[in-house]
Structure 1
Amino acid sequence: MYKEYIVQTRGDVNEIKRHQQTYVISASSYEEAMEMGRQIFSEEFSIEKSEVESSPQPYSRKFRGILSIFFMMISIFLSYINWYTPDGFDPVVIAPDFRSIFIAIILYSAFVVRFKKLQNVIASFFDFCQIIVILLLFSGFINIILEYKEITVFGIDFGIDSYYVIIFMLLLSWLGMKSLSALSFIFIFLLASNNIFILSKAMGNILGPVYLISAFFGIIFYLTIEPIIFNYLPFYKSIFKHHRNKMEHNFDSLQSDAKVLTNSLTKKLRRKNK
């Protein structure tokens, strides 16, 4: 009987770099999963199988995967509703369309190429369904920030479509111009701020939070079953440890300053009483 294992593999891919890669593998035993992990890593990075470390562990993702799709589908369903503000006649539409799906595919493709790798994208029918749901969810997010604005500069009217700004941002990111890409991203959200405000009024105090919270939990449950996250756990742990130490240091400094201030005030009060 075959079981799913998540197999973490490590090996020296060159003289100065030690790489870690995580795979989801169906195998009949722990030992078979370990050997398959070594084999896949050695073929992917062209090193000897004997030089690869492999550590499998049982992997059960069905329940969390179903929860992920369930919560995402709630948000997707709400995105297909035409929303109206109390004082408006035109609907606020965030349903996925050709443009938003196109951008979502570009973003997901970048994630696949940079992190997930093509051979790890669709390992089962469940993965296929998950990708469709993710694309639909992020298409709704993208439609929230798509906005057309007209601005006047020196008496001349200019039309700015955030769709083209997003495409420009993605091109800059792929070309390695991350600073300009980040500035474009900020500009997009400044353009979209009015959209977000209108949508908040249209969706109201109940369905608006339901939309966001469902999307949040859907993404969180997805991340708990995404194998690539395991590759970056040491990085996240080091960042968390660094910030925790920094906060502890700041808190200790605050305590010391508070003690100095308290002692100073106490001495001044004693002097006045004398």
Structure 2
Amino acid sequence: MKNKLLSTSLAVAVITLISNSPNVLALESTPNDSENNFYFIEVLEQNLDYASIVENLDIESLESYSQNKQNENPAISEDELNNLLKEEIIKRGIESNIINANGKLMYPDLGISTYSYGDLPIVKTKLGTNEKKVFNESLSKGVAVLAAGKSAMSYYKNYYSGGEDDNADAFRHSLWMAFSSASVAGADYSRRFGIAHENDFPSSALARSMDLYNNNIGISYGPKIKAFAGNADLYHSMALKMINTAVKNGEMRRFYGTDIGRKTSLVKTNSTGAKK
């Protein structure tokens, strides 16, 4: 059990995970130090299910927080960044009433803008058991993967029509993994998260093969995209250009399209359905 020192306007809370129920927390108010405005939150961090809190928070805001901490201290370690995110997630969870006065994770509708997420992991009610397990291994990497997924979902409909088992699907998965692997998440963690997603939301064997193939192609573009990380606008525009070109050049795989109907094996992608 660790003591965490937080500066916040929240009432002080001592949060202890109830071991036989991963979604229930025991919450107890304690006096605050008004002079320093510091509060202690004592947490069984090794067991707390941060993923179940995060899926109710604005992932873009959390990713921005993580990026700011990395920019402030380029030498920050993964453990240091994870600890900062743990504190921030707990604080936001209490502020947003995700953790209520009775200590339960309430999963409220926070009014966060929602998107059409398709089959990618989201930050609102759709993280699976395996995804949560991988997420909780490293909060900094998990936040980066989810933010990358949200970015991919926000872009793909502007680039392709369709969306399932086709060129649009290939573009979406590859872009997700390209953004993710170019981030602090890296290639290995991104790949494992992608596999966890397929395990949590199984489809046909052919669809799984397609998604994992396209994930790996996206990951292969991570180092090329990372080279533009210092310029946010160029970073996104180059990623979109590279992945779009790769889809049109047949680097990804699909088994459906208006030009081919529905196949029983994977075929190369092309420009069918492309809007740009």
What is the TM-score of this pair, normalised by structure 2? 0.27
Q: Which has the higher contact order (CA 8 A, sep 6+)?
A: 1
- Structure possessing the higher radius of gyration over alpha carbons: 1
Q: Which has the higher helix share?
A: 1
What is the TM-score of this pair, normalised by structure 1? 0.27
